[in-house]
Structure formats: structure tokens, C-alpha cells
Chain A
Amino acid sequence: MALVMGAAGGDGNVPRGALLRALAEAVARWRWEDVGSLRREGAAGMAPRQLSDAILVAAGFNGITRIADAIGIRLDAGTAETSVALRAETGIDGFAPPRKWAAG
């Protein structure tokens, strides 16, 4: 989880985790020079199709996070119940302050 939140180095038991984390971050921030560097770095240990698919997933989540934020959806009840500890550990709840839903 620290790998996801950017608080840990290494691969976090995910194959090529550090590179994929950096690639995801660069794609999400639209830092194309960094993406190009990471593509070259990744080519040493990953197939082009693997890098392409990682970028496809990142592109998709760059879009769907905008839908979630733009529509102001709330967490599903089931997810909220099962992810209390995870959300506390990661600080994700900080991304959903009460003002997000406070009218005028």
C-alpha cells in the first residue's frame, strides 16, 4: 500500500512495481518527457505490449477519476464498510473532505 501512496521505494512485491508506479504517476500528471524516459527504462525488462497496457490502464483511470470527482458520487456503502482500515491507513479519506458535498 505504501507503494501506491508513493511512500515506499522498491517494487512492493509487484513485478516491476517501482517502474509501474513511476509510469502511472508520470502519465497521470501528463509529464510526457518523464513518460518517455520511463518507456525507455521499462523496455529493458518489459515487453512493449506490457508498457502499452500499463499506459492504457493509467489513461482509463485518468478519465474515470474525473467522472467520480465531477459527479460528486459518494462511496458505495459496501465498499465503505469493508475499507475502513485501508482508508485510514492510506489517508484516502482526506481526498473527500466534507466541503466536497457542502452546498453553497
Chain B
Amino acid sequence: MTTAALPVAEAAARTHAATLAAIARPGAWWDGADRLAIVRATRAAPDCALCVARKKSLSPDAAHGEHASEGVLPPIAVEAIHGIRNDSGRLARRWFDHLIDMGLQPEAYVELAAIVASTVIVDTYAQGLGLPQPPLPEAVPGSPSFERSDDVADAGAWVPLAREGRAHILRSLGLVPGASALFFATFNPCYYMRPQQTFAIGRRQVELVAARVSAVNECFY
């Protein structure tokens, strides 16, 4: 049964278009074509047979095989993308260490995580409204900047966090400032990140939705 789409919030529409345009440009550790491949891999992840088998297993280590992939990205990057997209509640330090041992640089991982999570926001919003996933722009040619912040500190996470910040989540992507800017620009219209932010539902309703999504995703934070 088809359902009429709901109205799109203007700020979100602007932001999400800007997010995809930003992803298409060269980043810090991935070029524009790679970054768009990360988006496509995120979108393809729900249909990955290995991920479906892992999701059904008591431990994600129990199922073995290869991820569904278009073959553009290194397999270890696809592992990271599918893990974050499909089974984020069960990600563990041992899994992250394996990615690094297999050659994925922590900075590249941080940027990848920001792209995956930004894609999740953009696509979840569109599909939740009854709209198709937004089309992707063409990749902008150019090389990565290899930007890495030195203003970071060990806060017990898997990667160093930005040294300053009100909360760990706001510091989480600080190792690659461009990745942090990308993700939080995408996330900001979704919550009370700025004093002027308002929603058509009340604060208690916003908090209920936020808390329920966190619980479903088994996120402790």
C-alpha cells in the first residue's frame, strides 16, 4: 500500500543535500569517489547475506564469509561499513583492532564512520517520510588532504578524542575535524544542538523518540 509522503523540514532538506555534496568532495583520508562508494556500500549493507547470518548469530564472530560488495573499496573497509550499519550495538574493541591490524588507518576509520552515520541519517529520514533515498552527486576530483588533528587525547575510546568538548560524543570524531564537521552538520537539525532549534513536537516527545531509538540500537551512551 502506498502512503503519501510527509512534509520535509526545510532545514533538514538543505542540510542533507549539503551532506551528500560534501561527501562527494575529497575528504581527509578518502577521495570523493571512495566516499561515495562508502555511501553505496552503506545502502547495500542491509542485503548482505553475511551480515544477515551474523545478525542471527549469538556472536557476530560465528558467521564467516565475504560481504556483498561492488568491489571498489578494500574488503576491510566494507567490513567496517557493514558492521557500523548493520550491527553497531555489538561492535567491540577486538573487532576494531582487527580492522586496524588489517591495514585500515584509524583516521580513515573515523572518516568512514562519519560518512556511514551521516548516510544513515539522510536515508532514514527520506525513507521514513516515504521518499526514495536521495540520488548521489558526481564525485569531485581531487586527492585527500590527510588531515589529522594533534589536539586529541586518550579518553578510553578506541581512538583519541578531541581534547576539548562538552561531552565524549561531541569529541568523538575529533581526530579528523572534517569528519566531525560532516557528521554534526548532518545531525544538528535532528536534536537540540542549538538554542534556536525547535520541533513541531514537544520536548518530552523528542526525548522519548531519541531514547527509544537508542534502546533499539542497544546503545548504552
Contacts and interface: CB of A to CB of B under 8 A. Distances in A.
Given A61-B214, A75-B221, A67 B168 contact: no
Nearest to A78: B167
Contacts of B187: 60, 63-64
Most chain A C-beta atoms within 10 Å of own C-beta, residue among B6, B12, B129, B130: B6
B169 A56 contact: no
A85 interface: no
A59 B220 contact: no
A57 B209 contact: yes
A60 B207 CA distance: 12
A95 B219 contact: yes
B122 to A, nearest CB: 8
B115 to A, nearest CB: 11
B1 interface: yes
Given A36-B130, A56-B9, A73 B212 contact: no
A64 B169 contact: yes
Given A20-B205, A51-B6, A73-B157, A96 B124 contact: no
Size class of the contact patch on chain B: 35 or more
B157 A28 contact: no
B127 A30 contact: yes
B113 to A, nearest CB: 4
Interface of B: 1, 3, 6-9, 12, 46, 83-85, 88-89, 91-94, 96-97, 110, 113-114, 116-118, 120-122, 124-125, 127-130, 155-159, 161, 167-169, 171-173, 183, 186-187, 189-191, 199-202, 204-206, 208-221
29 contacts: A3-B208, A14-B208, A15-B204, A24-B210, A25-B212, A39-B3, A49-B7, A51-B6, A53-B206, A57-B210, A59-B190, A62-B120, A63-B183, A63-B186, A63-B187, A64-B117, A66-B88, A68-B172, A70-B91, A71-B158, A74-B155, A74-B156, A79-B167, A95-B219, A95-B220, A99-B92, A100-B91, A101-B92, A103-B94
